[in-house]
Structure 1
């Protein structure tokens, strides 16, 4: 199981808002595919899949504030 985390977005950014999911549980993903979008006070970034697999769990809801580094979803890489 691969854990997708909120990446570091700058030295002072500790919390971001998860603004949109582009996938749901059961979605097959490939490396580079956009999974979600997060927003900080200074920037928006798209979080991409780093591995192929199937989205097994989504742990953070759209519109939620969350900490940098936290796991937001898990991808099942065993096919």
Structure 2
């Protein structure tokens, strides 16, 4: 199971808003596919899948504020 985390977005960024999910539980993903969008005070980024698999869990709801390094979803890679 691969854990997808909020990446570091700058020295001063601690919390981000998860603004949009592009996948749901059960979605098959491929490397480079956009999973979610997050924004901070200074930037917006798209979080991409690092490997192929199936989204097994979504742990942070769309619209929630969460911290850098937080696991937002898990992808089953078996």
Name the TM-score, length of structure 1 as normaliser.
0.98
Aligned residues: 78
Rounded to whole Å, the distance in 1 between the matches of 2:63 and 2:41 is: 14
Gaps of at least 5 residues in structure 2 are none
Quote the residue 1:39 is aligned against: 39
Gaps of at least 5 residues in structure 1 are none
Runs of 4+ in 1 over 3 A off after TM superposition: none
Instruction: Please give the root-mean-square deviation of Cα atoms over the aligned residues, in Å.
Output: 0.2
Rounded to whole Å, the distance in 1 between the matches of 2:39 and 2:66 is: 10
Name the TM-score, length of structure 2 as normaliser.
1.00
